[in-house]
Amino acid sequence: MSRAGELVKGFRTRTVPRERTALAIWFWEIDRVLLSLIVALMAIGLVAVAAASPVAAIDRSTADVAVNPLIYFYRQLMWVMIGLPIMLVISMLPRPQARRLAIFLCAFFFLMLLFVPILGSTVNGARRWIDLPGFRFQPSEFLKPAYVVTLAWLLSLRSKDQNLPVMQLTGVLTLLISAVLMRQPDFGQTVIFMACWGALLLLSGLEMRWIAMLGSAGLAGLVAVYMFYENGRQRINDFLGIGVQMDTGPDQTDLAFRTITHGGFTGVGPGGGLNKFRLPEAHTDYIFSVIGEEFGLLACIAIACVYLAIIVRVLLRLLDEEDVFTILAAAGLTTQFGLQAIINMGVNAQIFPSKGMTLPFISYGGSSMLALCIGVGLLLAFTRRNPFMGRHTVVKWSGR
């Protein structure tokens, strides 16, 4: 056989067909590892809500009406069945369409946020929800992912024209949202919005003098919150033990820490937790403590590793990305997602003061679940990669 024949024999060829269905294209382009990690969190959340649901059911039961112990599990299952298809549909959108959808949602839910003081309902002393027939939703939850993508789009315009006042515009938008949230009051969500804004400014190439000025302004803002904002000052004082009466008993973070450590490394077993019945909002804000008591600290560490894997996966996905908007949008969505998880787990571990923030995809909540599905759907849309371009032959060397 000639030398040319030997070379041809040493290659294996694979022809990729030109015509593929939209579903097949989506399957090859989507980050299946990232999608699998998100679905795993949803499954963990269903188990956790089932464990914490009896606590909330007992709290809402009366002498005349008994609430089904698993009612919140059934509701969470319903929200997962609604949210998962929404996430997958959004992930199929091309990037320009996904960006336009996020900008529209940002404008709509910002308008809804402005109507919360007028139309909103008060729950546990906070006015954050708008009631609709058969459904109550929190506009700030839906606004978060759309806000991040909108900021990414505005800041990406600087790469085309440095003279555009996009930084000032994003600052005004962030301050308006923060002012409305502080009135609700919702200090935790305000922290998330401000942190995402700061992270996107850093990623967009902000000058060092502006970074120093924003850092100083942030410290001054924290001092102002403590001095003039009653809700924030109360949460910080409770966390530090300032002004706490000895006969009032442990506060929420103390109860959460005692619960999460009660099960040790392996837990007391599903349904065997007792400290969880002392927790307020065990199925939402403090569900991580319920997991620690019944499934152990090892389960908590595993969940934290899943969140870390999601963050690392997205960042690795962006290493070869060249589009400025895509980098900012995906990194901003990941920052929002990861920061919310860190704050919730930190509150349960008594690292941060109580903020009333849910654990992504694990805590119970319709608004939280649907908003997270929208955000992850956008993230999956922005991180898609096209491995095939039309009909071509992939050549791989198999010889020496």
Q: Where are the domains of the chain?
A: 33-60+74-384
Determine the straight-line distance between the first and last CA of the chain, rounded to whole angstroms.
16
pLDDT of residue 253: 77
**DSSP assignment string, 73-118:** HHHHHHHHHHHHHHHHHHHTS-HHHHHHHHHHHHHHHHHHHHHHHH
pLDDT of residue 395: 41
Q: How far apart are CA 337 and CA 281, in angstroms?
A: 21
Q: Which contiguous run of DSSP H or E holds residue 352?
A: none
What are the structure tokens assigned to 64, written together? 């005349």
- What is the full per-residue pLDDT of the chain (400 aa) written as tens digits? 555 555 445 545 454 445 678 788 888 889 999 999 999 999 999 999 999 888 888 877 654 566 788 889 999 999 999 999 999 999 999 999 999 999 999 999 999 999 888 877 777 667 888 887 767 888 999 999 999 999 999 999 887 777 788 888 998 999 999 888 888 878 788 889 989 998 898 888 777 777 777 777 777 777 776 776 666 676 666 656 565 554 455 677 788 888 888 888 888 888 888 888 888 888 888 999 999 999 999 999 999 999 999 999 999 988 888 889 999 999 999 999 999 999 999 988 888 877 778 899 999 988 899 999 999 999 999 998 765 544 344 444 444 4
Region label for 249, one of left (φ > 0), alpha (ψ between -120 and 50) or beta (otherwise):
left
Report in angstroms the alpha-carbon separations of 33 from 21, 37, 138, 321, 323: 21, 6, 30, 18, 22
What are the structure tokens assigned to 164, written together? 């555009």
**DSSP assignment string, 226-273:** HHH-HHHHHHHHHHHTTT--GGG---HHHHHHHHHHHTTTT-S-TT--
Instruction: Measure the CA angle with vertex 365, ends 361 and 369; round to 5°.
Output: 45
Neighbouring CB atoms inside 10 A of 80's CB total 19
pLDDT of residue 143: 94
Q: Give 55's strand partners.
A: none
Burial of 292 (0-12, 13-18, 19+ CB in 10 A): buried
What are the structure tokens assigned to 255, written together? 């109860």
Q: How far apart are CA 91 and CA 290, in angstroms?
A: 32
Are 304 and 271 in contact by the 8 Å Cβ rule? The answer is no
What are the structure tokens assigned to 70, written together? 């698993």
Q: Is the dihedral of CA 52, 246, 346, 376 positive or negative?
A: positive
Beta carbons within 8 Å of 298's beta carbon, 6+ residues apart: 265, 266
pTM: 0.84
Reference 265, options 232, 302, 231; nearest CA is 302
pLDDT of residue 85: 95
pLDDT of residue 216: 77
pLDDT of residue 356: 74
Return the CA Rg of the chain: 24
pLDDT of residue 242: 62
pLDDT of residue 327: 93
pLDDT of residue 60: 72
Are 293 and 263 in contact by the 8 Å Cβ rule? The answer is yes
Burial of 95 (0-12, 13-18, 19+ CB in 10 A): middle
What are the structure tokens assigned to 14, written together? 């694979």
Place of tokens 């946020």: 113
